[in-house]
Structure 1
Amino acid sequence: MRLSTVILPVRRWHDGGRAEWVRAEQLGFHAAYTYDHLSWRTFRDGPWFGAVPTLTAAAAATDRLRLGTLVTSPNFRHPVTLAKDLISLDDVSDGRIVLGIGAGGVGFDATALGQEPWSPRERADRFAEFTALLDRLLTEGDVSQEGTYYSAVEARNIPGCVQRPRLPFAVAATGPRGLRLAARYGQAWVTTGDPKLFESGTPEESREALRRQADALATACAEIGREPAGIEKILLTGFTPDRTRPLESVDAFVDFAGRHRELGFTELVIHAPIPDSDFAVDPDVFERIATEGLAQLGD
């Protein structure tokens, strides 16, 4: 099992921002991700910087740490321009970029460009078309395609990604259509658990829901003849009924990680501390988890 972190883009680069990414590498995290939003929830009225420039700067400030988004969505992105940004990021980082990608939701991102919020069906339709076109754009040098929502006309992406055949996709999904996309296009699958259990569910119910999601992914893989063991399984923590409890101590984290490793998860992602927020965990405990947590599991 691997341990990674999410660094929310809320600090100016020269006032603590850079130091967080450098420290993540020093602590030995497998990857450091950031959210690709225009703003997000309780942070909407405060600082929030763009994911692509932040990751570019992080790539220049680190050497080994894998970097990526959790997650990018079609809410305000277009596959043609996103592909160019990703190829550039993969080049600057010398092949350390992972694209976390999801369908998006109904928050501020969904209306910031002046559009009406999409229905769940349209979001799913757009996500499928977005992902398929992005896959082509990142693997072919010259792409023309006319779609219902997204088109490309002689879109050139030369020389392509450093990682071949393209940088990996970590597809966020919980429902049948999204899991089929993860099975077809994903090198990894991302989940936050069952959102219906966040407020009133129990940890046991959450783990059972995660088990069902993993089983559904395996079924989607079987439908196309793919081995599900070839897909990394990532749990973005902080959104299950446990909330921040796994980060209260090293022992609590080891218990949490062990139970989710039994479900087949290969990577856990924990949020870097942010004071006076939902992610206000003890920085010392956070660093001890990074350096000691998985070691106690034998990883």
Structure 2
Amino acid sequence: MRLSTVILPVRRWNDGGRAQWQRAEELGFHAAYTYDHLSWRTFRDGPWFGAVPTLTAAATATSRLRLGTLVTSPNFRHPVTLAKELISLDDVSDGRITLGIGAGGTGFDATTLLGPDEIPWTPRERADRFGEFLPLLDRLLREPSDVTSAGAFYSATEARNVPGCVQQPRLPFAVAATGPRGLKLAARYGQSWVTTGDPKLYETGTVEESVAAVRAQGEKLAAACAAIGRDPGEPSRLLLSGFTPEFHPVTAARDGHPLSSVDAFVDFAGRYAELGFSEIAVHWPIPDSDFAADEKVFERLATAAAAQLGR
């Protein structure tokens, strides 16, 4: 299992930001991702920087570390402009970019661009938009010249993306999905599949229920792959940690937080390795937040825990 990290874009680049990404490479993490939001939950009133500029800077400050979003969404993106930014980012990084992408959620990002009389997207509309967004983005990244498409939500007219991605035929997609429509998109377009578990279980579910829910998600992904003739084992599986019951304060206080020690983390990660997950992403600790943790223990995960998990 590969061990990766998620660095939230909350630090000024010249005040710890650059050093954090460089440290991730020094520690040997497989990849370092960041959220692609305009802001996010409890961080809304504090610093929050853009994902693409941050990743571009990280690409120039590192040389081996894979980089990416975890995840971006249609909430404030358009396939044409996103494709241009991704091709540029893939070029600057010399082919080290993975695009984590999902349908998006509710909250700050989902309403910031709306006018006073506009209604937030329903879950169905969010799924409809994602179902149109992802195939068009796939085409834009694969076909350098004259992509034309007329959709209900997203269109392109003779869009040009010369010279295309460094990674061919395009940079990899890590598709975040839990529902049937999203899992079908992950099966068709994803080089990997991303899940955070079942959000309904975070507060009141048990560890056993969470593992069972993720197992069921994986089975649905496998069925979606089989339905289109794709090897169910081909899309790799990535767990974005921090949102399963093990991380809830009540459960963590009773049973021990997964980031409290190397052994605790190996035990946690092992449950998902048994479900076929080949990568797990852990948030870089942020004091006084939902992602608070001992940074010394966290750094040991990149070496001791990764070794035990067979990185």
Given the alignment of the two structures, is residue 219 of structure 1 paired with residue 231 of structure 2, yes or no? Answer: no
Query: Aligned residue for 2:289?
Result: 277
Q: 130, 133, 148: which one pairs with 1:130?
A: 133
How do 1:13-52 and structure 2 match up within 5 A?
Answer: 13-52=13-52
1:110–1:116 contact (8 Å) kept in structure 2: no
Q: 251, 262, 269: which one pairs with 1:250?
A: 262
Matched residues in 1 for 2:13 and 2:218: separation? 37
CA offset at residue 116 of structure 1?
Answer: 2.5
Query: Aligned residue for 1:173?
Result: 177
Matched residues in 2 for 1:200 and 1:168: separation? 35
Paired residue type of 2:229: G
Query: Aligned residue for 1:160?
Result: 164
TM-score (norm 2): 0.95
Matched residues in 2 for 1:27 and 1:297: separation? 15
CA offset at residue 228 of structure 1?
Answer: 1.6
Runs of 4 or more, structure 1, over 6 Å off, are none
Aligned residues: CA RMSD = 0.8
CA offset at residue 296 of structure 1?
Answer: 1.7
Query: Aligned residue for 1:183?
Result: 187
CA offset at residue 297 of structure 1?
Answer: 3.0
**Residue correspondences, number:** 299
Query: Aligned residue for 1:296?
Result: 308
Query: Aligned residue for 2:66?
Result: 66
Mark the runs of 5 or more structure 1 residues left unpaired by the alignment.
none
Paired residue type of 1:9: P
Matched residues in 1 for 2:15 and 2:77: separation? 28
1:37–1:50 contact (8 Å) kept in structure 2: yes
Matched residues in 2 for 1:105 and 1:217: separation? 20
Matched residues in 1 for 2:271 and 2:176: separation? 21
Paired residue type of 2:46: G
Paired residue type of 2:108: F
Match of 2:245, SS?
coil
TM-score (norm 1): 0.99
Match of 1:209, SS?
helix
Matched residues in 1 for 2:36 and 2:15: separation? 21
Deviations 1:202-225 (A, max 9, x none): 111100000000000000000000
CA offset at residue 117 of structure 1?
Answer: 1.1
